[in-house]
Amino acid sequence: MKVAVDRGETVSEMEPLLLREDSRHRAALTDLALELAQKSAGFRRSLPENLVSSLADLVRSMNCYYSNLIEGHDTHPVDIERALKGDYSKDAKKRDLQLEAKAHIEVQRWIDGGGLDGRSVTATALREIHQRFCSLLPDELLTVEDPITKDRVKVVAGELRHRDVKVGRHVAISPPAVPRFLARFEQVYGGLGKTDTILATAAAHHRLVWIHPFVDGNGRVARLMSHATMLETLDTGAVWSVARGLARNAQTYKSHLAACDQPRRNDLDGRGPLSEESLAEFARFFLMTCLDQVAFMEKLVRPDELRTRIQLWAEEEIRLDRLPPKSGAILEAVLYRGELPRADAAGIIGTGERQARRVVSALLDRGVLTSASTRAPLRLAFPATLAPRWMPGLFPDQV
């Protein structure tokens, strides 16, 4: 599979890119897309703005963990959090995976900050995602083995592939065809309205991995592209992620992707070379997974339940003399308000300024509060080490 000869593929070979207007699947899927838009927006609006920012930091680690898990790389969020603080394992392989996770988070932080606004499905943006991610990887993670020849192939950041590839039973288009297929991809998916974009997110996700523009990293780029698309069209605030749902149903996810590679089954299966039925089934799975993740996160951060979990943890820490008394009152105030001016801390706990500073300092040291500077307001943080207590089920406990 070494020789990069243009086999003359036409862009029509990846049709259908969208479900037809008269498709029997379209009405039900449009209802799901509208339901997702409504529930995602409702969840986002229910959160104090400063809580959104803190929660998004934790969700980035979660998203990174589950996206890596799909690739067979298990780097627990606690180890990811350590990497973000420059604390790397002495084990070389574990360190490389920590660096990989840190790279993923850096790219997603750039996306969450608006780095791809309005251009998430453009060929330029896809190459930039790949370039930004791979440029942060250690050399050991920038080579892959050709499954046919067993050669070690160098992955060049942001570079479209120059080799033929086969993934499972799918032989991807020839390398010289990749630019014209990406141009068609951008033309179709970049010109849709909001509802159609939500509806087409799964289709774009599959068609990108079908094109397989890069030697390696295509699945990760597709998931980051989907994240960016939903961030913009659904105003998610980055406080939920489809990656958790895909990873928890990884075999089903991969089976859907493989099914979408298959040719049209019969005259009732659309009009393009590829199966419209399979594309519709994947779209339903994808949208239902998104809805499930919104519902999961919404339940997890219900104010009363989150407050109870945080307060129980704080009370236990105080009894064990690991936090000063009245720490829970500060946490509750920050949770309720979204942020707390430092000058208000003494009034919250009914003590002098010196004792209030001691309580705040202890909470900052434990990583449960954060602040942009020594004078900036206090915000709640969600350290990965406390996720099993504060956010149960977000990701597995560390073994």
Is this structure's pTM higher than 0.75? yes
Residues 258, 329 within the same domain: no
Per-residue pLDDT at 48 exceeds 90: no
Tell me if residue 322 falls in helix, strand or coil: coil
Domain boundary among 300, 329, 362: 300
Q: Which long-range contacts (CB under 8 A, 24 or more apart) does 108-113 make?
A: 108/60, 108/63, 108/64, 108/224, 108/227, 108/238, 109/60, 111/224, 111/227, 111/228, 111/231, 112/56, 112/60, 112/231, 112/238
Q: What is the rounded average pLDDT of the residues 280-300?
A: 97
The amino acid present at 238, given as its one-letter code, is A
Per-residue pLDDT at 153 exceeds 50: yes
230, 194 contact by CB (below 8 A)? no
Query: Poorest-confidence range of 92-106, 109-123, 138-152, 247-261?
Result: 138-152
Domain boundary among 265, 281, 300: 300
What's the pLDDT tens digit per position in 107-150? Answer: 999 999 999 999 999 999 999 999 999 999 999 999 988 767 77
Number of domains forming the structure of the chain: 2
Residues 319, 353 within the same domain: yes
% the chain with pLDDT above 90: 81
pLDDT at 399: 43
Angstrom distance (rounded) from CA 273 to CA 185: 16
Query: Poorest-confidence range of 47-56, 109-118, 154-163, 340-349?
Result: 47-56
Q: What is the rounded average pLDDT of the residues 295-318?
A: 94
Higher pLDDT, 281 or 269: 281
Q: Which residue in 69, 68, 104, 66 sits closest to 84, CA to CA?
A: 104
Helix or strand (DSSP H, E) at 179: helix 178-189
The answer to whether residue 242 is domain-embedded is: yes
What's the pLDDT tens digit per position in 322-372? Answer: 999 999 999 999 998 888 999 999 999 998 999 999 999 999 999 999 999
Residues 375, 255 within the same domain: no
Residues 164, 265 within the same domain: yes
pLDDT at 76: 87
Burial class (CB in 10 A: 0-12, 13-18, 19+), 169: exposed
Per-residue pLDDT at 94 exceeds 90: yes
Per-residue pLDDT at 397 exceeds 80: no
382, 54 contact by CB (below 8 A)? yes
Domain boundary among 256, 282, 300: 300
Q: What is the rounded average pLDDT of the residues 92-96?
A: 95
Helix or strand (DSSP H, E) at 379: strand 379-380
